[in-house]
Structures are given as C-alpha cells and as structure tokens.
Homo-oligomer: A and B are copies of this chain.
Amino acid sequence: MVIRRIGMLTGGGDAPGLNAVIRAVVKTAIHDYGWEVIGIRNGFDGLIPPTSAEPLTLDDVRGILPRGGTILGTANRGSPLVRRVDSNGRVELVDQTPEAIATLEELGIDALIVIGGDGTLNIGHELAKKGVPVVGVPKTIDNDLPETDQTFGFDTAVLTATEAIDKLHTTAESHHRVMVLEVMGRDAGWIAIHAGIAGGADVILIPEIPFHVRKVVEKIAERDRAGRHFSIVVVAEGAKAAGSGQFYIQPKDELSLGRLGGIGEWLSDTLAMSSGHESRCTVLGHLQRGGTPTAFDRVLATRYGAAAVRSVAKGMFNHMVALKGNRICEVPLERCVGRIRTVPPDGELVQTARGLGISLGI
C-alpha cells in the first residue's frame, strides 16, 4: 500500500501532551515521508457527517508543543459510532461505523492514527477489524492502559498533584489539620500512589486496596503521639471504604443520591468527626488535565507521534505504539483494549510506601 494521506484524531478526556503528539505526527509525516495529514475534529464525531476535517500544515502545529489540550478538539460522551435513535418510543442503537469508514474513503485517508485511552483505542480496534489501517497512541491521565510502561499525560498529572500536596503541607502543619486531597483514578490508583509518595503523604487510599476509616484515624492518632499534629491524606476518586462493622459505607452510591460530593469530601467530614482534628478537602479535578506538559511528557508524546508515523510507513496496523523501558515498540491493539492496568496491592510500589510508614488501607 502506498501512503499519501493520513488522518489523525484525538478522543476521550484531554491530557497534557496531546498537542505534542499531533505536532510530531505532522512534522514527521511531512518532513520524513512527504505525506499529507488530515486532522479530524472532535474525535470520531468528525467522521460522522457533517464531517469536520481539514489538512494540518507545519504552520498549524507551530508553537503547540508546550500547550495543553488538543487543537483537534475531542469528545468523550461515549462512542459516536453508536448513535441512539428513538423510533416510536423505543430507543435503538445504530452502528455508524459504515458512515465513518465511508468518510475516511471520501477524504482519501490511507491510514488513521487514533490518540486516546481505552475507549478510543477500542473504537480504533473495531475499525481496524473492518479493514481500516489504524495505529493507536496510548493516552491516559490515569496511566492504567496495559502493555505500555507509561502513557503520556500521567507525569504531568502526578506533578500537579504533588505540587498540590506540597502546598497543603504547610497549611496542615500551621493549623494542625487533616488535609484530604482527592485526585483522579476511578479504577487505578497510580496518580494517588505516585503523588502521595512524591508529596510525602501520610495516608494513600487507592481503588485497588479497600480501606477502613478506623485505620486512617489510627494513623492520625499515631502521628499525634509522635508530636505531628497534622496529616495529609491522598485519596483516589475511586477508593472504597471496606465493608465491615461500624464504618461500613458505600460512598459512591449514597453520595450520588444526595449529591454530597465525592469520596474526598465524605472522608474529610468523617475524619473531622472521628479524629479530633479539623479537616479540609481539596478536589483537584480538572487541574490535573491541564497546563503545559512536563518535559517527560513532551518527549514521550513526541516519540509516540513519530513512532506512529513510522508504524504507518511499515504497514504495522492494528497496533498501538508503547513504551517498554527506554524503547518504543508496537503492541497489537487487541492486547491493549478492554482491560486496565492497576496498582498491584502487594507490589514493590505499595511495599515501598508502607516501608516509609504510609498507611494504605486494609
């Protein structure tokens, strides 16, 4: 197959480094291979008529390396390839994949680079199975994609969370408070454990290890006895209280009923009642997604973008570029989608944290 024109899109939540990938793809494709690059706007939405796509030139990617977000826009409201239609009172799902493939043909796109997380890569995989030459680029804030040591965006998110912990430390100490920081991580606690270790947290609660509030209170009391009248608690948004005895709760369900905020707020309120300290919660939220990417993420994103172009040139489709150690390699998409990489509850990272005296649940 002769490549003349490639398409590219970004899907899912934004992450620092998306623009660095886009820039690397455009520069490498034009400079090294002489291809044309078509930017598809707003994720897969741009492939469903009315389509939204336009050529990306060197000028278009000038100056975007240090900028957060994605110049292509994104969409993260489920797969646009499955449209919900209401016919006579019944909701039906209509597969729009044929329209998307038709659009790709219409645009004369010989290969498609999709940049995104599990959902986006999954759609890419579906398209690949139907014959579209697809190369994936792994992106998550949460770093929970399998088959790659790291996704871009994660390093920046961890730095942002660590800087937040640095800031909370002094307030906690000055006011003898418990400060709770809720970070991203619905299913995997990578941000929480990395930022917690980097920031010197006293308690780290992650989805992979259920926790007893009682244990957290004990840790705070232990610090009190050592003359440390404050504590820093980092909690991933998906952390779960263990189900037993007095402290049994199902935070997610109860909270969503009463709109009482997330696990961080709940935990902060609970600790305020049970620890004898004032407690405050900070929800880091979207601050973790934004901002200029770290040098690490810029390099990783750039290497991914360039590698994706080389994969296209080699005809290595239905694969995702990945980092293994210091090397960039390719992994079949089917091994990457549909499962997540979580923090091993007995692994070295958790062991290291516990060795430092950090309380980690159960």
Query: A residues engaging B (CB < 8 A)?
Result: 10, 13-14, 18, 24, 27-28, 31-32, 65-70, 73-76, 149-150, 155, 158-164, 166-171, 173-176, 179, 194-195, 197-200, 259-261, 280-283, 285-287, 289-292, 294-296, 298-299, 302-303, 306-307, 309, 324-328, 348-349, 351-352, 354-357
Contact = CB atoms under 8 A, between A and B. Distances in A.
Contacts of A294: 159, 294, 296
A296 B170 contact: no
B286 A195 contact: no
A56 to B, nearest CB: 15
A289 B175 CA distance: 12
Given A149-B325, A283-B283, A32 B298 contact: no
A280 B283 CA distance: 12
Contact of A73 (B159, B176, B357): B176
B14 A356 contact: no
Most buried by B among A10, A261, A291: A291
A174 B357 contact: no
A171 B289 contact: yes
B170 A291 contact: yes
A36 to B, nearest CB: 16
A171 B298 CA distance: 17
Contact of A295 (B159, B261, B292, B357): B159
A291 B170 CA distance: 7
Q: Which of A167, A171, A351 has the most CB of B within 10 A?
A: A171
A219 to B, nearest CB: 13
B355 A299 contact: no
Nearest to A352: B306
Nearest to A26: B356
A198 B286 contact: no
A164 B287 contact: yes
Contact of A298 (B65, B197, B351): B197
A27 B356 contact: yes
Contacts of A291: 163, 166-167, 170
A328 B27 CA distance: 36
14 contacts: A14-B174, A24-B352, A69-B174, A149-B325, A162-B298, A166-B292, A168-B287, A171-B286, A194-B295, A198-B296, A281-B285, A282-B287, A294-B294, A296-B296
Contact of A175 (B14, B296, B307, B349): B14
A73 B229 CA distance: 11
Contacts of A70: 174
Given A70-B174, A170-B290, A348-B307, A198 B295 contact: yes
Contacts of A150: 326
A136 to B, nearest CB: 18
Nearest to A161: B295
Contact of A76 (B10, B155, B175): B175
Given A14-B175, A303-B349, A355 B290 contact: no
Contacts of A31: 355-357
Contacts of A167: 68, 160, 286-287, 289-291
Given A170-B290, A356-B302, A324 B327 contact: no
